[in-house]
Amino acid sequence: MIRFEQVSKVYPDGTAAVDDLSFEVREGELVTLVGPSGCGKTTTMMMVNRLIEPTSGRVLLAGDDISAVDPVRLRRRIGYVIQQVGLFPHRTILDNTATVPALIGWKRSKARERAAELLDLVGLDPSVYGPRYPAQLSGGQRQRVGVARALAADPPVLLMDEPFGAVDPVVRERLQNEFLKLQATVRKTVLMVTHDIEEAVRMGDRIAVYGQGRVEQYDTPAAVLGRPATPYVAEFVGADRGLKRLSVTTIEPADLEQPPVARLDEPAAGAAERLREEGARWAVVLNGGGELHGWVSAQALERVGGRGTVGDTARRMEAWVPVGAPLKRAFGEMLQHDAGWVAVVDGSRFAGVLTPAKLHEALRRSVDADAHGIPRGEVEFDSVADA
Ligand X SMILES: Nc1ncnc2c1ncn2[C@@H]1O[C@H](COP(=O)(O)OP(=O)(O)OP(=O)(O)O)[C@@H](O)[C@H]1O
Contacts of 247 (CB under 8 A, 6+ apart): 198, 201, 202, 221, 326, 327, 328
Asked if 50 is part of the footprint of ligand X (rule: CB under 6 A), the reply reads no
Identity of the residue, 8 or 383, whose beta carbon is nearer to ligand X in the bound complex: 8
Break the chain down into helix, strand, coil percent, rounded to 5. Answer: 45, 25, 30
Q: Which residues pair with 18 in a beta bridge?
A: 9
42 is a site residue for ligand X (CB under 6 A)? yes
Rounded to whole angstroms, the Cα distance separating 234 from 227 reads 8
Q: How far is the CB of 17 from ligand X (least distance, A)?
A: 3
Task: Count how many Cα atoms sit within 13 Å of the Cα of residue 155 in the half-sphere of its side chain.
Answer: 27
> Measured from the CB atom, is 18 or 256 closer to ligand X?
18
Determine, following the binding rule CB under 6 A, whether residue 31 of this chain makes contact with ligand X.
no
Give the shortest CB-239-to-ligand X separation in angstroms.
Answer: 22
Task: Compare residues 23 and 133 and give the one whose CB is closer to ligand X.
Answer: 23
Q: Which stretch binds ligand X (CB under 6 A): 30-38, 111-119, 229-237, 341-349?
A: 30-38
Q: Of 4, 25, 29, 41, which one interacts with ligand X (CB under 6 A)?
A: 41
Q: Which stretch binds ligand X (CB under 6 A): 40-48, 59-67, 243-251, 295-303?
A: 40-48
- 53 counts as binding ligand X under rule CB under 6 A: no
Q: Is 84 in the site for ligand X (CB under 6 A)?
A: no
Backbone dihedral region for residue 62 (phi beyond 0: left; psi -120 to 50: alpha; all else: beta): left
Taking the complex as a whole, how short is the minimal distance between the CB of residue 192 and ligand X, in angstroms? 12
The site that binds ligand X (CB under 6 A) totals a number of residues, namely 13
Q: How far apart are CA 298 and CA 279, in angstroms?
A: 9
Q: Binding of ligand X at residue 43 (CB under 6 A)?
A: yes
Question: Under rule CB under 6 A, which residues in 186-215 are in contact with ligand X?
Answer: 195
Q: Which is nearer to ligand X, 58 or 195 (CB)?
A: 195
- Which residues, 3 to 22, sit near ligand X by CB under 6 A? 11, 13, 15, 17
Q: At what angle do helices 356-372 and 327-336 cross, to 10 degrees?
A: 160
What gap in Å lies between CA 200 and CA 15, rounded to an integer? 26
Nearest to 327 by CA among 233, 271, 243: 243
Distance of closest approach, residue 11 Cβ to ligand X, in angstroms: 3
Among the listed ranges 39-47, 121-129, 346-354, 367-375, the one in contact with ligand X (CB under 6 A) is: 39-47
In sequence order, what E strands does the chain have?
Answer: 2-10, 16-25, 30-34, 56-61, 64-65, 78-82, 157-161, 189-194, 206-210, 215-219, 261-263, 282-286, 292-297, 315-316, 320-322, 342-346, 349-354
- Tell whether residue 336 is a contact of ligand X (CB under 6 A): no
Could you list the residues that contact ligand X (CB under 6 A)?
11, 13, 15, 17, 35, 37-43, 195
